[in-house]
Amino acid sequence: MSRHLNVPIFIPHLGCPNLCVFCNQRTISGAQHFDPAEVDGQIAQALATTTEQDTAEIAFFGGSFTGIDRELMCCLLDIAERYVQNPMAGKARVSGIRMSTRPDYISQEILEILSRYSVRTVELGVQSLDDAVLAASARGHNASCAERACRMLLEAGYEVVGQTMIGLPGSTLQSEIATAKALCELGVQGARIYPTVVFADTALCEMMQSGRYKPLSLDEAVERSAATLRVFEAHGVRVIRIGLCASDNLSDPALALGGANHPALGELVRSYLYYQNLRKLLSRASDPVQQVEIPARELSLAIGQHKQNLLRLQAEFGAQLKLVASDCRAPKIYEKEKEHCT
Ligand code: SF4
């Protein structure tokens, strides 16, 4: 079976003079140092585990890639480009390069440099398009800067993935929904949703400990992430990740001190969205016995962990709800829901 893989190269804090209140990149990436001389070997090692049926992208994640020293940035792009142009025998074809960066590190000069390489996707750390939230989070740029960067990248033909955060200081459900809608209207093709986690040694941690910031509970984070997910899905924007990766030291209680920290957060959010949609269906139904077809691969999401969705719905409606796996692409109720959530 063929796979499409990212070969992630983490670049902790390189080139970033900012200190967003939530950020401790060394903690998040688990990396204490970065040695460019190791990158070639890291890529080769990752590709060695693939087959020629696979495809891969080399992904520079973790910092603000287009903000690092130009010489180093081009050196890293040169290394990646070699794998695009010269595939390893019998291993995955490298179809392109992707990177994450800040909106204020996108300029015409950067676009000109990127155009010399096989860069396909830029993940933009938008986080929020609410100026008050950006200021409270010490992001160092405003919403119009992020919108401008988004437009420039899209006009230059890149795929743009908008990274958004839930539960930042000053953020509300309304501002998070507005951010997701604005990104959809700008035309991003993908999104990530990161509920805020409070890491040790960050300004956010100090704010939490002094009572100036209250992190979201897990339930709040699930509900608010689901609202943002709903907007993206309604616009056909693929959400490629919800929540930080399990490798992000989330399980270390000395590092992750607060916020929405759950190893299966994405599953909880998608399951909650099913709960809401099924709830709407039942509230409109005249017949208490309902059978709903669910795409087979999503049946467990619809049922919920420990049958939570089914049990809640039965308790609320006294309904006899049957969820049946089928080869449909989306349950009918889900399609209907999309009409109402734009
Ligand atoms: S811009 Fe990115 S790397 Fe820099 S402090 Fe903010 S979140 Fe961290």
Which amino acid would we find at residue 1? M
Burial class, 318, CB count within 10 angstroms (exposed 0-12 / middle 13-18 / buried 19+): exposed
- Ligand 1 test: best mutation among 11, 14, 23, most atoms within 8 Å of CB? 23
> Across residues 238-247, what is the average pLDDT?
87
Whether residue 48 is predicted with pLDDT greater than 90 in this model: the reply is: yes
Q: Could you tell me which residues are beta bridge partners of residue 289?
A: 320
Residue with tokens 């696979």: 54
Whether residue 228 is predicted with pLDDT greater than 60 in this model: the reply is: yes
Cα separation values, 17 from 20, 114, 322, Å: 10, 22, 54
pLDDT of residue 328: 72
Whether residue 334 is predicted with pLDDT greater than 80 in this model: the reply is: no
Whether residue 250 is predicted with pLDDT greater than 70 in this model: the reply is: yes
Task: Say how many Å lie between the CA of residue 336 and the centre of ligand 1.
Answer: 39
Q: Sketch the domain layout of the chain as residue ranges.
A: 4-263, 282-340
pLDDT of residue 248: 55
Q: In angstroms, rounded to a whole number, what is the distance separating the alpha carbons of residues 187 and 159? A: 9
Instruction: Tell me if 16 CB under 6 Å of ligand 1.
Output: yes
Strands 256-259 and 197-199 come out as antiparallel
Instruction: Tell me if 64 CB under 6 Å of ligand 1.
Output: yes
CB 244 within 8 A of CB 194: yes
Instruction: Tell me if 20 CB under 6 Å of ligand 1.
Output: yes
Least confident piece of the model among 16-30, 65-79, 169-183, 279-293: 16-30
Strands 55-61 and 4-10 come out as parallel
pLDDT of residue 327: 80
> Across residues 269-277, what is the average pLDDT?
94
- Ligand 1 test: best mutation among 10, 11, 13, 100, most atoms within 8 Å of CB? 13
The pLDDT mean for the chain works out to 89
Confidence of residue 42 (pLDDT cuts 50, 70, 90): very high
> Across residues 125-150, what is the average pLDDT?
97
Q: Whose CA is nearest to atom 3 of ligand 1?
A: 63
Cα separation values, 101 from 14, 16, 163, 166, 299, Å: 11, 10, 10, 19, 36
CATH architecture type of domain 4-263: Alpha-Beta Barrel (3.20)
Whether residue 290 is predicted with pLDDT greater than 80 in this model: the reply is: no
Q: What percent of the chain has pLDDT over 70?
A: 90
> Across residues 39-57, what is the average pLDDT?
95
Q: In angstroms, rounded to a whole number, what is the distance separating the alpha carbons of residues 64 and 86? A: 27
pLDDT of residue 286: 75
Residue with tokens 């902790």: 12
pLDDT of residue 84: 97
SS3 262: coil
Q: In angstroms, rounded to a whole number, what is the distance separating the alpha carbons of residues 281 and 304? A: 17
Whether residue 92 is predicted with pLDDT greater than 70 in this model: the reply is: yes
Whether residue 70 is predicted with pLDDT greater than 70 in this model: the reply is: yes
SS3 249: coil
Whether residue 91 is predicted with pLDDT greater than 60 in this model: the reply is: yes
pLDDT of residue 14: 62
DSSP 14: T
